[in-house]
Structure 1
């Protein structure tokens, strides 16, 4: 956002309050979702109105219904043309993303990704369809034909058995096409598997108990924030990644958390005598808990790095993901070398999800064509 101007800084609080009330009334009276205020287009709109200055009048109903809508459509068509040029020059990936909305409709979004970025192709309501492999293959093929099958290098879907079968069908229909399962989804499943290892499962469950307790009571939450200078829970792109990032945050704030549960403020609070409170205190003051946290982080931190690469929007992940997973495997083996039994359990999860299902030829080709990563791995393997 732009810096406040001198004129802005001289406005009274009362004047600002009046404007805020009008903005809020607009949302309430028209039933506009409140999270619209967090959108980038909202910021741009307000900045442009401010830069225009006094005297700006909003578009009329007719203007926003016809000429402005036409202009918006033209801008999208121009944007698509830019993407189409990139598809023809570099090829592209078709991605599908299924989800269920608040009306319980099963929707599937289709997007095309290329060096020009990601472009939304369309959405299909598949609620009345049986999501079998044949139906999914037909839906994906329609999107491929829209783009031009000579320009589509691969399709990326989730890892359900129906999508796997659809991928095989499409590769038979279009011999030049690759089907690739979603890496971020596979990594999430891998971390879910790792989280089920008994030593890690008990650690994660204990951490969840502590977090639930700390965030359940306002007084304790305020005390925690005072001790560690912020929050513990760190939302991530997937549910299981969130659990591990929370463990990282807890370890980083270990001293602050221990200080909280040893403080006079805590012991003078009635919650310190409750069952929940005593459980949380015992967990945080347990040496064994922190040892397990450290090992859990050692087993998953390299995978979180790979997940950030896989889920990044800025650059293509394909040239980097093989190198990232190779590095993750080596790092995990190195950091858990003194815990052979635990290492075997983690590597079993790794091989189950990655070695057996995600070793894609396309990733190998992308790595080979990325000399900086490829020769670094070759050098390490000597």
Structure 2
């Protein structure tokens, strides 16, 4: 839809488009939604047509409990039945990523002529129109639902299609981690300045309600990082945070660029490429894998996965016996590379040197890969960022000592780690007190040394606190720093937010300070009601939610839930772009961005709803 149209005209156009959605023509109870039990029954009915199990059961059945196709059609009415088939067709096309050329094939048309002579399946263009209409209807359902939620997270990113067209995507997640793709924008003919990105995101934020948002997440290129600051200016209750997955990945890339690891990584890259480009090489590799019982293959270094250089190195290390067996057998010539993979009985100095460097690089890089497994999850919180970042650094520091890397290499790696640490948790451009605060608000870590400050921040003060007020509080410096941040968060919500639990304190600043200090003290001392057991399976968000209503929990739980609701990565963008790539293989590279996004939105929406 043309972005140059006025908001009113766009609203009318979207409503008109959504009104033609296949699902809009059916009543809510008629919309297909196969549950797990229905799918299980479908698996058992081997002699029954698969399509009948996807259609919700009507009120009337035959003596054996199974309706025939024609009886079901009569009960529904032919028109309603055809409308249901339209919905199922749209869902099938989007879920399976089918080519639109299939709708034109005579075999497809013949199939429907045999299955239901009264039904005319949509042709190529009509099917595209239906998908666009369905996507708009889905979008309106998403917006309507998100307008009932609080503490939302918005993430966004740009990309390029196979047809070399630029696009931007945007996702919004709820406190319970439902993630919705709200579609995006074809931006091929536009300059993606920080102001342009801000306006693109703000349109969706205002559509849902700005006070409902807790954070905006994106990577940290020049314009995207600046766009976060501009969004914070526009929405004072919103935190602009760096995507932790990109930050971790950039740290690994910095280490991988060190000259000490260059030759080893080059060997990994060339080895994987050599096997991937040779049919004989792949065949010999599979034979050796089968012989040695090592079934996982080689992984390429690419752009679509974070820390892929570590994944590739791990795959080569894992396959060393397999590659050596290929070299020993001699049917596939690795040429100059074979000197790094001599069979065990003929180990060369070059083989030993390569394996040592491979082991050292994996030792340094693997902790980041393990942490990314957690931090790429939609469920990851700001506390997880703080904990896993420190755990990763600790693991790398131990590795540097154990693997006896040269002193100058250790020094260079330490400088990289220090820079990235300061950038995220110090005074860098990506830093935010929210990571420390989120960790402090998890009772599991309240007395952990991970909260012990290394340096005392300058100017740390909290009004009305005395030494007696800090009695029984472990790590008082951290307590004061976190308290100051949380008080500022609450103040912004009181003055600029819309939640009644904050705005009720608008003209009672003195009472608010007294109540807030009392609550944070009770929590730090683990006094009632903050002394109730914490169950990891319950989840930290639910733990805080269960405290709402207590005399000593009228402010702090709402602050904690806002912080802990924030999704700390922009992985939904990465997953959506992967879907775009899957939808547009080389033979379908001309699929328009609009159709690609509409198909993906319908696909992901129904996947999310079925999962919930």
Instruction: Verify the 8 A CA contact 2:165 2:186 in the aligned structure 1.
Output: yes
After the TM superposition, which of the residue ranges 148-157 and 327-336 deviates more from structure 2?
148-157
Give the CA RMSD over aligned residues. 3.4
- Tell me which residue corresponds to 1:14: none
State how far apart, in whole Å, the 2-side matches of 1:37 and 1:329 are.
46
- Residues 163-197 of structure 1: CA deviation (Å, up to 9, x unaligned): 22222222223222211122222222221111111
User: Which residue among 192, 206, 226 is the counterpart of 2:287?
Assistant: 226
State how far apart, in whole Å, the 2-side matches of 1:69 and 1:132 are.
28
1:44-83 counterparts in 2 under 5 A?
Answer: 57=116, 60-61=120-121, 77-83=140-146
- Tell me which residue corresponds to 2:307: 241
Pair 1:368 & 2:445 matched:
no
Instruction: Verify the 8 A CA contact 1:82 1:116 in the aligned structure 2.
Output: no
- Residues 276-331 of structure 1: CA deviation (Å, up to 9, x unaligned): x2322112230110111111011111111222222223x13433121111100000
User: Which residue among 224, 229, 237 is the counterpart of 1:176?
Assistant: 237
State how far apart, in whole Å, the 2-side matches of 1:172 and 1:379 are.
30
Relative to 1, partners in 2 of residues 1:128 and 1:325: Cα closer, same or farther, differing over 3 Å? same
TM-aligned CA deviation for residue 130 of structure 1: 2.2
Pair 1:283 & 2:340 matched:
yes
- Tell me which residue corresponds to 1:321: 385
Pair 1:250 & 2:316 matched:
yes
Relative to 1, partners in 2 of residues 1:135 and 1:227: Cα closer, same or farther, differing over 3 Å? same
- Tell me which residue corresponds to 1:195: 256
TM-aligned CA deviation for residue 151 of structure 1: 0.9
Relative to 1, partners in 2 of residues 1:214 and 1:244: Cα closer, same or farther, differing over 3 Å? same
State how far apart, in whole Å, the 2-side matches of 1:92 and 1:109 are.
17
- Tell me which residue corresponds to 1:120: 181
State how far apart, in whole Å, the 1-side matches of 2:414 and 2:187 are.
38
State how far apart, in whole Å, the 2-side matches of 1:69 and 1:212 are.
40
Q: TM-score, normalised by structure 2?
A: 0.48
- Tell me which residue corresponds to 1:102: 162
- Residues 17-56 of structure 1: CA deviation (Å, up to 9, x unaligned): xxxxxxxxxxxxxxxxxxx9995688xxxxxxxxxxxx96
- Residues 45-90 of structure 1: CA deviation (Å, up to 9, x unaligned): xxxxxxxxxx9649544798799998886666445544443x32xx
Relative to 1, partners in 2 of residues 1:279 and 1:69: Cα closer, same or farther, differing over 3 Å? closer
TM-aligned CA deviation for residue 155 of structure 1: 0.7
TM-aligned CA deviation for residue 203 of structure 1: 0.8
1:298-313 counterparts in 2 under 5 A?
Answer: 298-313=363-378
Comparing both structures, which one devotes a greater share of its residues to helix? 1
Per the alignment, in what secondary structure is the counterpart of residue 306 of structure 1?
helix
Relative to 1, partners in 2 of residues 1:37 and 1:231: Cα closer, same or farther, differing over 3 Å? farther
State how far apart, in whole Å, the 2-side matches of 1:73 and 1:106 are.
21
Instruction: Verify the 8 A CA contact 2:245 2:306 in the aligned structure 1.
Output: no
Pair 1:294 & 2:359 matched:
yes
Relative to 1, partners in 2 of residues 1:377 and 1:293: Cα closer, same or farther, differing over 3 Å? farther
- Residues 69-120 of structure 1: CA deviation (Å, up to 9, x unaligned): 98886666445544443x32xx111111101223333211111112241112
* Unaligned 5+ runs, structure 2: 1-38, 48-91, 99-113, 290-294, 343-350, 425-429, 454-474, 476-612
State how far apart, in whole Å, the 2-side matches of 1:373 and 1:7 are.
53
- Tell me which residue corresponds to 2:413: 346
Relative to 1, partners in 2 of residues 1:6 and 1:121: Cα closer, same or farther, differing over 3 Å? closer
State how far apart, in whole Å, the 2-side matches of 1:125 and 1:232 are.
36
TM-aligned CA deviation for residue 210 of structure 1: 1.2
After the TM superposition, which of the residue ranges 166-175 and 230-239 deviates more from structure 2?
230-239
- Tell me which residue corresponds to 1:378: 450
* Unaligned 5+ runs, structure 1: 9-35, 43-54
**How many residues are paired up?**
330
Per the alignment, in what secondary structure is the counterpart of residue 370 of structure 1?
coil
TM-aligned CA deviation for residue 216 of structure 1: 2.2
Relative to 1, partners in 2 of residues 1:240 and 1:158: Cα closer, same or farther, differing over 3 Å? closer
Instruction: Verify the 8 A CA contact 1:210 1:283 in the aligned structure 2.
Output: no
Instruction: Verify the 8 A CA contact 1:309 1:317 in the aligned structure 2.
Output: no
Q: TM-score, normalised by structure 1?
A: 0.75
Per the alignment, in what secondary structure is the counterpart of residue 184 of structure 2?
strand
1:76-91 counterparts in 2 under 5 A?
Answer: 77-85=140-148, 87-88=149-150, 91=151
